[in-house]
Structure 1
Amino acid sequence: MSDRPVIVVVYDRGSASLLDIVDGLTPIGTPVLALWPSEHGADVQPLAQEMLTVEVLDPEDLDGSAERLRAHAPAAILTYSETKLAVTAQLARRLGLAYHTPATVELLRDKYAQRQRLRERGVDSVRSHRLREAGDWPAALAAVGLPAVLKPASGQGSRSTHAVTDADAGARLAAELLTGPDRESTLVLEEYLHGRDCAPYGDYVSVESAVSGQRISHWAVTGKFPLAPPFRETGNIRPAVLPDDERAALLELVTGALRALDITTGVTHTEVKLTPDGPRIIEVNGRLGGWQVQLARLAGDLDPVALAARLALGEDVAHVRADDERVVFTRAVAAPVEGGTYLSVQGLRTALALDGVEHVVTRYAPGETVPAGVHSAEIAWVEGAVADHATALRVSAQALRELAFTVEAPDGTPYTVRESVPEPEPSAVP
């Protein structure tokens, strides 16, 4: 029998791909894929079965699924998928393995419950109110005020997330989101956090943390490019550019948040708004953050996929840090909110020829559908590694200006998608 530890990965679409998991976990153990029977799971199943052991989970019989996994004698369990935190917690409890407790997963997945806990523990006091039906709007408005943010209580990728500045428009929007064809079961109205001037960067960052027992280590702070309306992410830059005192304050805030949510193992991804009055929590996520695999690969430093598995195995690796010797970035061309059919791209060769650009990744093949919606989504993105932040800003902006994408609208009319990113002012770049 092999002495390599078996690591169960509950798999669905998430922050690490199937190949990322195979590459990251095979050197340290034997991964067993607990495959969720989704459309994405069905797509990757043939390839997964070529590379590693696969057990397809039965959502109606988690007891039986756990027994099949038990037969592999697992030493650890984890997931890289936001939507599978709860299932992973249930399986971990059945298998007697370390993971977030179901109570902690509830706090991580329910953004209203998370806000309540952070307020109760004195960590952050952002006003919020839950809406389960359209009639809850007046009470939510009275509790939170305007401007505010309306979003699903449980969601990711800025899905159905909107800024609200008018009470009547907010009432209509809440009713639409709760009763429309893609209706949300529960919404949260929360205080809008005004960011400080961080140009040419976005006014928020993410903190990537490793938790091992009582030890919390923040292994990276990821800067962001400015959001596209309403709250669409447009890219990442690491390390973030922050004054030392602000960095210390935000790390202290995140440490308090992780302790308040009773997180004791694994990697976390916490988004933090940089306001004139100091950092404020946007949300805490109990899994590896998006884009961290790409950023780590560009930097050539620690593998965050492997880090999550090593923590699940009980290793004390909370001392690890990204070395931040290079400035790395991912910068996106946002998918059009109206959607359509992807046709073609121009400017790829010129963008790839720029010093510092490592990859240009296009999301769609000609003829594929670009879904409509206001969630964070990319039609393509640029990845790069350079010596300093000024070069990162210049090169990434130039690469985006070279790229143009042709999309056919639902009515059959072709249109062009491109990002007109201005050259940053030298005085604005640290």
Structure 2
Amino acid sequence: MTPTSSEPSVALPRLGVLYNPRTVEILSLARVSPGRWRTVWLVDRELNAQVGARRLLRRFGEVIDITGLSMAEAATCITEPLDGILATNDPDLVRAAELAEQLGLPHFCPAQVARLNDKFLQRQALQAAGLPTPGCVRIPAGMSLDAAVAAVAGLSYPAILKPAHGASSRATYAVSNADEVGQRFAERLDYPSEDFVVEERIPDGWAPADSPWADYLSVESLAVDGEITHFGITGRGQLAEGFRETASIMPPALAPAEWPALYGLATAAIRGLGLSSGVFHTEIKLSADGPRVLEVNGRLGGGSISWLAERVSGYSLLAAAGLVNLGRPPAPVPVPVPVPANTNGVGFAVYVQPPYEAREVVDITGADEVRAIPEVDELVLTRRPGDQVNPPEEGSQSVVAIIRGLAADHVRVAELLAQIEKSLQFSYR
């Protein structure tokens, strides 16, 4: 059903939404806002050039143009007070914190956002909180290659090289020694334009050949005034080269007895970062040494997680995120029962990743065949023939197709992953 904007809104709070077309689905937000809040879209035209999108935004709320403005300047454009601010990606968390500080609204403060977005600062905070933490070294922009190699010589390898501020495994590389760190940097034409970190790799829980499921997952959590509620856990398919995501599975293929420990670890990580309110997406690796925190994100998880949550349980994480960012308790979370028999089934989202060396999509076949699979709800082609791709730099955002649906159980999901991989074919150059 198409959302409408005609519902009475006199008594509803006003939620400022930093609009980004990559992380905000306008119609999805418009569908969950009636009866909960009035949406005020905060739009930067330099990031959102599509005129059609701005027209659509006006159908479902007030639009305030903040193009080229500092958050102090943007605050002066907001003539009717806001009650909260919603950010859906890491860079916008910074702007939301600055704007909330100007307006006196509940939100993360800039120091908290720094601990969420900066991978080195987050590792330091988690270590200080007593959580097991791999060794991590920052390589600041401007450091010479020789100095960078020397700085990481004392780490244990294998390790991972990645931007200190980054998402979706952008520019993320496996490295086997300090010299390889230098080689990777030397290959980057823009080095050293930003800070990087080199982090010891947490031991794998199992070999990729042993399971269709990856040895990491994420806990989706909501917190208001120190009370943390965990919605559930999202499993993953095996990673593509460059640590790129290939599938999200909800609920995961995980024994019920293992869930409480993962919830406890997510709670400890959130509190270890000094956070008491917000929406959190905590990635955890099921290592051979026990579960270990990969990172905590102060936003909803990407990769179709909100879609999956609603598909398998009827619960809207997006609506919950809006309420939490207004400082209000979300709707009660359904009792998290980690077995498909107590949900609608097992939700899946498949992300078709191009080969690591691919740079352009040439042809696509098999889309109609995949759409005809009974369990498939939708297939979205995110790249077309002639579109460019750059997996090393784009990370998981190099995805060329997304397939979402619902299956009876994990055995069937595993079969579907194989069937989709066989049927949907892309050619590249």
Would you call these one fold, judging by a TM-score over 0.5?
A: yes
Matches within 5 A, 1:48-63: 48-63=57-72
Deviation at residue 119 of structure 1 after TM alignment: 0.4
**What corresponds to 1:201 in structure 2?**
213
Alpha-carbon separation, structure 2, partners of 1:343 and 1:105? 41
Letter in 2 for 1:122: G
Deviation at residue 74 of structure 1 after TM alignment: 1.3
The answer to whether residue 83 in structure 2 is matched with residue 78 in structure 1 is no
Deviation at residue 23 of structure 1 after TM alignment: 2.0
Partner residue of 1:67 out of 61, 76, 79: 76
The answer to whether residue 416 in structure 2 is matched with residue 395 in structure 1 is yes
Which deviations, in whole Å up to 9, do the C-alpha atoms of 1:372-414 show, x marking residues without a partner?
Answer: 535112111221101211111112321221111233x2xxxxx
SS at match of 2:48: helix
Letter in 2 for 1:83: P
**What corresponds to 2:328 in structure 1?**
315
TM superposition score normalised by structure 1 = 0.88
Partner residue of 1:345 out of 350, 357, 364: 364
**What corresponds to 1:172 in structure 2?**
183
Deviation at residue 19 of structure 1 after TM alignment: 2.3
Alpha-carbon separation, structure 2, partners of 1:153 and 1:88? 20
**What corresponds to 1:365 in structure 2?**
384
Alpha-carbon separation, structure 2, partners of 1:104 and 1:247? 27
Deviation at residue 316 of structure 1 after TM alignment: 2.2
Alpha-carbon separation, structure 2, partners of 1:366 and 1:188? 35
Letter in 1 for 2:173: H
The answer to whether residue 174 in structure 2 is matched with residue 155 in structure 1 is no
**What corresponds to 1:263 in structure 2?**
275
Check conservation: 1:364, 1:379, Cα contact below 8 A: yes
Deviation at residue 191 of structure 1 after TM alignment: 0.8
**What corresponds to 2:4 in structure 1?**
none
Alpha-carbon separation, structure 2, partners of 1:158 and 1:218? 25
Check conservation: 1:127, 1:143, Cα contact below 8 A: no
Which deviations, in whole Å up to 9, do the C-alpha atoms of 1:260-282 show, x marking residues without a partner?
Answer: 11222221111111011111111
> Which is worse superposed, 90-99 or 366-375?
366-375
Which deviations, in whole Å up to 9, do the C-alpha atoms of 1:223-248 show, x marking residues without a partner?
Answer: 00011112111110011122344322
Which deviations, in whole Å up to 9, do the C-alpha atoms of 1:349-383 show, x marking residues without a partner?
Answer: 22122221111111123443334535112111221
> Which is worse superposed, 30-39 or 147-156?
30-39
Root-mean-square deviation (CA, aligned residues, Å) is 2.1
The answer to whether residue 298 in structure 2 is matched with residue 277 in structure 1 is no
Alpha-carbon separation, structure 2, partners of 1:325 and 1:305? 19
Q: Percent identity?
A: 32
> Which is worse superposed, 4-13 or 361-370?
361-370
Deviation at residue 325 of structure 1 after TM alignment: 3.6
Deviation at residue 326 of structure 1 after TM alignment: 1.5
Check conservation: 1:249, 1:278, Cα contact below 8 A: no
> Which is worse superposed, 237-246 or 215-224?
237-246
**What corresponds to 1:414 in structure 2?**
none
Letter in 2 for 1:386: A
**What corresponds to 2:401 in structure 1?**
380
Alpha-carbon separation, structure 2, partners of 1:212 and 1:79? 16
Letter in 2 for 1:2: V
Alpha-carbon separation, structure 2, partners of 1:366 and 1:72? 46
SS at match of 1:222: strand
**What corresponds to 2:340 in structure 1?**
none
SS at match of 1:345: strand
Change (3 A) 1:137 1:223: same
Change (3 A) 1:357 1:325: same
**What corresponds to 1:232 in structure 2?**
244
> Which is worse superposed, 229-238 or 195-204?
195-204
Letter in 2 for 1:141: V
SS at match of 1:163: strand
Letter in 1 for 2:347: V
Alpha-carbon separation, structure 2, partners of 1:264 and 1:82? 18
Matches within 5 A, 1:5-84: 5-40=13-48, 42=50, 44-69=53-78, 71-84=79-92
The answer to whether residue 106 in structure 2 is matched with residue 98 in structure 1 is yes
SS at match of 1:142: coil
Check conservation: 1:209, 1:216, Cα contact below 8 A: yes
Alpha-carbon separation, structure 2, partners of 1:72 and 1:366? 46
Letter in 1 for 2:185: A
> Which is worse superposed, 156-165 or 132-141?
132-141
**What corresponds to 1:298 in structure 2?**
311
Structure 2 unmatched runs, 5+:
1-8, 338-342
Alpha-carbon separation, structure 1, partners of 2:192 and 2:57? 33
SS at match of 1:373: helix
Alpha-carbon separation, structure 1, partners of 2:49 and 2:215? 35
Deviation at residue 14 of structure 1 after TM alignment: 4.5
Change (3 A) 1:381 1:61: closer
Change (3 A) 1:339 1:142: closer
Letter in 2 for 1:115: R
The answer to whether residue 259 in structure 2 is matched with residue 247 in structure 1 is yes
Partner residue of 1:186 out of 188, 191, 195: 195
Deviation at residue 319 of structure 1 after TM alignment: 4.5
Matches within 5 A, 1:320-339: 320-321=333-334, 324-339=343-358
Deviation at residue 64 of structure 1 after TM alignment: 2.4
